[in-house]
Amino acid sequence: MPDRNPLPRAILFDWGGTLMEDDSTSTVAAAGSPDIRRVPGALEALIACRPHATICVATNAMVSNDAEVWDALSLAGLAGGVSHVFSRQSLGFGKQDERFWLHVQATLGLMPQHMLMIGDDFDGDVAAPARAGLNALWLNRETQERRVGTGYDTLFSLTELPDRLFG
């Protein structure tokens, strides 16, 4: 686990490829009737984390703003556990931009070391938030590669998450 803080007060999940399969997130805004597919373990992870931390979604999706992400989360049965959505589309800047994380901190009123970002894109979901002082977990469902560094580690499935954080 990341070593800056063992129990995060806020957990931010990426959307495409982390909570929902990427093919779902790319069609939600455009098609209007999305073929929603949750990533295995997504619902269980949110249910397990919700009693311990504020749950957020942080997305770099090109086509979906905050409202459209909320709609998609609702259709996927995931909205109930989520407190905040932060989207590049609504903010005007993405996760690689430091302003994204400053906005998240200001909104949640938390120091970066009290937040954990989880996502499948190493640059946007791990390297960028780690640079901003957050902890991060890289969700790698594709290979056996494990990446570990200051403030970040690797997760191979969302089903591992509850034990990893609270076990």
Positions touching Mg ion (CB under 5 A) are 14, 16-17, 120-121
Of the two residues 16 and 81, which places its CB atom closer to Mg ion in the complex?
16
State the minimum distance, in angstroms, from the CB of residue 62 to Mg ion: 12
Residue 56, H or E segment = strand 54-59
Of the two residues 14 and 21, which places its CB atom closer to Mg ion in the complex?
14
Of the two residues 16 and 112, which places its CB atom closer to Mg ion in the complex?
16
The first and second tokens of residue 66, run together, are 């905050």
State the minimum distance, in angstroms, from the CB of residue 14 to Mg ion: 4
Sheet holding 84-87, edge to edge: 84-87, 54-59, 10-13, 115-119, 135-139, 152-155
Of the two residues 7 and 62, which places its CB atom closer to Mg ion in the complex?
62
Closest to 45 (Cα-Cα) out of 144, 150, 139: 139
State the minimum distance, in angstroms, from the CB of residue 13 to Mg ion: 9
The total of other beta-carbon atoms located within 10 Å of residue 118's CB is 26
State the minimum distance, in angstroms, from the CB of residue 51 to Mg ion: 25
